[in-house]
Amino acid sequence: MYFIPHPKRIEHFPGFCHAERGFCVESLDASTQSLAQAMLTQLDKTGIPIRLEHKTVHVPTSLAHHDLLAREAYRLTIEADAVVIDADHPTSVRNAFATLQQLARQAEGLLPLTLIEDYPSIPYRGVMLDVSRGKIPNRTKMEEVIRLLASYKYNVLQLYMEDCYVLESHPVLSRSNGYYTKHEVQYLDAYCKNYGIELQPNFQCLSHAHGLLRNPGYHTLAESEVSLFSFAAGKPEIYGLFSDIFQEVLPWFSSKTLNLDLDEAYDLGTGYSRQAVQERGGREVFKEHILKISAIARNAGAERLQLWGDCLNKYPNLQAELDDDIVFIDWNYNPLKHFPSLENHDAKAHPFWLAPGTSSWNALFPRTQQANANIRNYIHQGFDQQVQGVLITHWGDYGHHQPISFSYHGFVRGAEHSYNGTAISEESLDTAMDVLFFADANQSKAYALLSSINTLPAVTTAFKTQIFYAFFDDLFKGLSLIGNDAYPAISKETFASVENLAREALDQLGQSRSGSVFQQELLQAARCLAFTGRKGRLSHTIKKTFLENAVDEDQILAWILDLKELYRTFLSLRNEFVRLWNHEAVEIGSEGAVYAFDKAASRYAEAVIWLNSQRLALHQGLPLDTRMETYTAHEGYTTLWTGNCTNLWDRAYPWR
């Protein structure tokens, strides 16, 4: 039997419990019955009875945060004629049900007699979902996410919000993106509660504020009126705005924890706050902003505050100058063996959390190897330093093209590491994933094949996957073909490997028995990758043949046909992208992601027009442009991370 997270103690005994008809929960109180109905798939009045006994389960006192951990401890005993759960808190009962469900899935009605004693090693285990970069998950998708998190014993979910809330006091805000209403947040809050999860608000309170600042009447609140990216720290009017936001939106959540973010304050001191920074220093100006925002949040009902910890790299030991209710969240998404930023924290003086990432963003398929190493190593080092919480992040940079489900793999692996703290072998976790996460062996093999693409030469650069850029890139002089100091060019050989691996994945997916939406999303990713490999190979072939001056009219006409076929496939992929988007998210907000497709569509016509100019040159006896010097359609073409933050159209950032 396999479990994620793996329980602390498992003991098997001879014999079985015949639970072919499922479980009976009639002896449980109403709230526990409701929880059982949420967590267990097979319930029947004639099934094996589940009995709840409110007995304490021992948790070693040597563990940091012992009292918080003890609230989630449980004992699950599979007897011949009953299932007995010892637990004295709703979340510990939820954890027991999650383990029982995983056991029942594998046992197919014949449960081995078993004693399981279990408790987490890190008290707060959560996921942060970016809902501010265009994709607003609909209710069905959010319910799916919440059920998934509960089944792997998470207890926190944060919604990262830059501007996606509707305010009665500021109705113009959120017009440019999708949004959640008071009614919808309250529904999700109640749904989370039913699954033992705390839905925590997360509001960006300094940078990444372009969704708010690019509205009429609000641009004057910006640090820089060129980029309209960050709030002007110290400007009185912004604190009035945040008072309105907090007073109106915080009551939508039952949680008293609020993440203020305040990360990546790169332009602090470059505009409105320049004089203050010059006179008092950036540390003091930043600290004053934190204190003012924190006071406003507390006045609106927040009792526990969080903010991202990257500022501690610039302002060491800032924790000592702030209030005790502020917890820093260290974040890092790199696949490091050691994380120096964790040295900014002393858990005995100030509790802290850490935030790894699923590396699903800026990619056609997640950078799985990067995410696995980041999540595993980061959490293990944090556990050694007595970290209080883990927040696995799912970001949606540059339009949130990737499906939410492409972070599920990272969520599940993160559940194992954040629950147990210490290392489990990668082989054991992979085997458990095959049993509990993937639909079948074919889907698992396809996932591994698609993941391996991101390890090819020049494909992955930091938090970006070059193949994603190549999908939208210019056909003859695109960044993915010519490269620069930051982004190396992708070779023809690498493009060929991308196509071959994607086609192998398509073959495996074709043999899978799964009919899930996740399967459809995997198919879409594999087709996009196969397309990108084919496109890149063709681009290299055309460029090389011209450079060798080995072009004739038939070859040009054949290439034009190839490009038209590519364009037809590209449109098909665009349409499937829109269909899958609408399945998991509201339509508003998709325009930023779809625009990348529509903008890239012009590349095919430009390539054909230029090729035809060379065909005509052959007819006229003129020399070919072997170096493509007359091809200028690439000039001014940008997409994704080469977009222009200041043009108020591109979904980009002040950096590239």
190 and 321 in a single domain? The answer is yes
Question: Residue 475 has what DSSP assignment?
Answer: T
155 and 112 in a single domain? The answer is no
Helix (H, G, I), strand (E, B) or coil at 115: strand
Q: Which of 437, 469, 497 is the last residue of a domain?
A: 437
Per the structure, the complete domain to which residue 133 belongs is given by 124-437
Mean pLDDT taken over the chain: 96
Could you tell me the maximum CA-CA distance found in the chain, to the nearest angstrom?
A: 92
423 and 486 in a single domain? The answer is no
**Cα 656 versus chain centre, distance:** 20
609 and 577 in a single domain? The answer is yes
Across the range 170-194, mean pLDDT stands at 91
Across the range 282-303, mean pLDDT stands at 98
Instruction: Render pLDDT for 339-387 as a digit per residue (tens, 0 to 9).
Output: 999 999 999 999 999 999 999 999 999 999 999 999 999 999 999 999 9
Does residue 269 fall inside a structural domain? yes
Question: Which residue matches tokens 């037809």?
Answer: 568
pLDDT at residue 651 in the model: 74
- Which long-range contacts does 93-96 make (Cβ < 8 Å, 24+ apart)? 93/32, 93/35, 93/52, 94/35, 94/39, 94/150, 94/153, 94/195, 94/196, 95/120, 95/153, 95/196
Residue 612 CB coordination number (10 Å): 13
pLDDT at residue 26 in the model: 94
60 and 135 in a single domain? The answer is no
- Kind of pairing between the strands at 9-18 and 110-118: antiparallel
Helix (H, G, I), strand (E, B) or coil at 374: helix
Is residue 144 predicted with pLDDT exceeding 80? yes
**Cα 403 versus chain centre, distance:** 9
- The torsion angles phi and psi of 48, rounded to 5 degrees, stand at -70, 125
Across the range 15-43, mean pLDDT stands at 96
pLDDT at residue 176 in the model: 72
Instruction: Render pLDDT for 224-275 as a digit per residue (tens, 0 to 9).
Output: 988 899 999 999 999 999 999 999 999 999 999 999 999 999 899 999 999 9
Across the range 318-343, mean pLDDT stands at 97
Q: What is the band of 285 on the pLDDT scale with cuts at 50, 70, 90?
A: very high
13 and 149 in a single domain? The answer is no
Across the range 467-496, mean pLDDT stands at 97
pLDDT at residue 222 in the model: 96
Q: What is the band of 646 on the pLDDT scale with cuts at 50, 70, 90?
A: confident
347 and 228 in a single domain? The answer is yes
Helix (H, G, I), strand (E, B) or coil at 27: coil
Q: What is the CATH number of the domain that holds 476?
A: 1.20.120.670
477 and 350 in a single domain? The answer is no
Into how many domains does the chain fold?
A: 3
Q: What is the band of 656 on the pLDDT scale with cuts at 50, 70, 90?
A: low
108 and 177 in a single domain? The answer is no
Helices 517-547 and 553-584: crossing angle in degrees, nearest 10, is 160
pLDDT at residue 655 in the model: 67
Question: Which of these ranges, 530-544, 560-574, 581-595, has the smallest mean pLDDT?
Answer: 581-595
Across the range 573-600, mean pLDDT stands at 95
